[in-house]
Amino acid sequence: MNDLALVGGRALDPAGGIDGRFDLAIKDGRLEVVVARDARSEAAESRIEAIETVDASGWIVVPGLVDLHTHLYEGVSHYGIDADAHCLARGVTTAVDAGSSGAQTFPGFRRYVVERATTRIYAFLNVAVQGMISRLVGELEDIRWGSVPQAVARAREHRDLIVGIKVRLGYQMVGDDPEPAMLLARQAADELGLPVMCHIIDMRHPITWLLPHLGAGDIVTHCFHANEGGIFGPDGRLFPEVRRARQRGVIFDVGHGQGSFSYSVARAALAEDFPPDSVSSDLHSHNVEGPVFDETTTLSKLLHCGMTLSEVVEAATSAPAAAIDRLSEVGTIAVGREADLTALELCPGRWSLPDGAEEEEVVETLVVPRLVVRGGRAIPVEPLARGVTELEVAPG
> In this chain, which residue has its C-beta nearest to Zn ion?
282
Ranges within 277-296 binding Zn ion (CB under 5 A): 282
In the complex, least distance from residue 103 CB atom to Zn ion, rounded to whole angstroms: 18
Q: What distance in Å separates the CA atoms of residue 181 and residue 175, rounded to the nearest whole number?
A: 10
Using CB under 5 A, count the residues that bind Zn ion. Answer: 2
- Do β-strands 65-70 and 30-36 pair in parallel, antiparallel, or remain unpaired? unpaired
Please identify, among the stretches 90-98, 146-154, 205-213, 326-334, the one whose residues bind Zn ion according to the rule CB under 5 A: 90-98
Report how far Cα 8 is from the mean position of its chain's Cα atoms: 28
Please identify, among the stretches 8-16, 275-283, 306-314, 328-336, the one whose residues bind Zn ion according to the rule CB under 5 A: 275-283
- Do β-strands 2-13 and 60-63 pair in parallel, antiparallel, or remain unpaired? parallel
In the complex, least distance from residue 83 CB atom to Zn ion, rounded to whole angstroms: 14
Closest CA to 88 of 391, 386, 296: 296
- CA dihedral 200→203→206→210, nearest 10 degrees, is -50
Q: What distance in Å separates the CA atoms of residue 208 and residue 6, rounded to the nearest whole number?
A: 48
In the complex, least distance from residue 7 CB atom to Zn ion, rounded to whole angstroms: 38
Please identify, among the stretches 36-44, 94-102, 141-149, 326-334, the one whose residues bind Zn ion according to the rule CB under 5 A: 94-102
Closer CB to Zn ion, 6 or 98, in the complex = 98
Q: What is the number of H-type helices and E-type strands within the chain?
A: 11, 15
Neighbours of 134 (CB within 10 A): 11
Ranges within 95-124 binding Zn ion (CB under 5 A): 98
Residues 5 and 52: beta-carbon distance below 8 Å: yes
Please identify, among the stretches 152-160, 173-181, 276-284, 385-393, the one whose residues bind Zn ion according to the rule CB under 5 A: 276-284
Cis check: omega of the bond before 291, within 30 degrees of 0: yes
In the complex, least distance from residue 214 CB atom to Zn ion, rounded to whole angstroms: 18
Q: What distance in Å separates the CA atoms of residue 230 and residue 246, rounded to the nearest whole number?
A: 15
Closer CB to Zn ion, 253 or 282, in the complex = 282
Closer CB to Zn ion, 286 or 337, in the complex = 286
74 binds Zn ion (CB under 5 A): no
Residues lying near Zn ion in the complex (CB under 5 A) are found at 98, 282
